[in-house]
Amino acid sequence: MEKELASSSNTNSLVDELAPLRRDMLKFARLQLRDDAAAEDAVQEALAAALTGQKQFNNRAQLKTWVFAILKNKIIDTIRERARSPGTSIDVDEIPEDAYDDLFNEGGFWQNDTRPSTWGDPENSFSSQQFWQIFEICLTRLPENTARVFMMREMLGFDTEEICKELAISSTNCWVVLHRARMGLRLCLDERWFNSENRDA
Amino acid sequence: MLNCKKAAALMSQGMDKELGMMQKMSLRFHLMMCSGCRNFNKQMEFLRQGCRKFPQQDN
């Protein structure tokens, strides 16, 4: 009897600890899936799996890492299922080929005012909450499929071969999309954070 | 000789696959002479780190 009580109170405390993570999880899943219902499902399943996992954690950061690892797997499952359903081919030319041509002169060298300047010690920004808000805004500003390919690569850890297979695009297309995504994200962070007067850090 | 536009594309590609010997050499040579691309290269690495840390943030 005592044993049962102990285990049920453990479950309760895990529920309490997981509840505040739900919002962040949902935001992360929405960003990846760009579909509220699918994001909700992925988060629900991840939370359910976390509760049945019954693992013990010494601190909140550990718990968060573990729960997000489960969530990433759920998101990957969703992306795989989507890719298997017929008629899914994605438009990867959302950012036009010449979108970043203005950064370079005719010879293909940086223009004076677009040449990347140093970001100093950018890692310091990792401790700024405002930085992460800008980071999210910049990710959200990437076109849908471009963002999806980029996040599969950089957040979910797919290699490019897998991305090509899952999304039925050529490997050349995949590299092109990743490159344009990085160009876009770099410019956005450069303008809105590293060379912005509004930052607090 | 490699220009910045091509160098940027190679730096990005290098994050997703192993570059060929010639590509690596011409990129290294370009980076020696081009501070803009050196900054770009560091920023690419920073983007990767940021993406890995992103899910763990409370914002």
For testing contact with chain B, the best of A76, A103, A115 (most B CBs within 10 A): A115
- Of the candidates B9, B52, B57, the beta carbon closest to that of A179 is on B9
- What lies within 8 Å, CB to CB, of A13 at 6+ separation is none
For testing contact with chain B, the best of A130, A132, A160 (most B CBs within 10 A): A132
Q: In terms of C-beta density within 10 A (0-12 exposed, 13-18 middle, 19 or more buried), how is residue B11 classed?
A: buried
pLDDT the model gives residue A87 = 58
Distance between B26 CA and the closest CA of chain A, angstroms: 15
pLDDT the model gives residue A166 = 79
| Tens digit of pLDDT at every position of chain A (201 positions) | 444 444 445 566 777 878 888 988 998 899 888 889 999 999 999 999 888 876 767 677 788 888 888 999 999 888 888 877 765 667 777 898 899 999 999 999 999 999 999 999 999 999 999 999 999 999 999 998 899 899 999 998 889 988 888 788 888 889 999 999 999 999 999 999 998 865 654
pLDDT the model gives residue A1 = 40
Query: What is the spatial distance between Cα A146 and Cα A45, in angstroms, rounded to a whole number?
Result: 26
pLDDT the model gives residue A7 = 46
Q: How far apart are the first and last CA of chain B?
A: 45
CB A119 within 8 A of CB B35: no
Query: What is the spatial distance between Cα B38 and Cα B13, in angstroms, rounded to a whole number?
Result: 15
Kindly determine whether residue B16 and residue A175, on different chains, have CB atoms separated by under 8 Å: yes
- Quick check: pTM over 0.90? no
Intervals of chain B under pLDDT 70: 58-59
CB A104 within 8 A of CB B3: yes
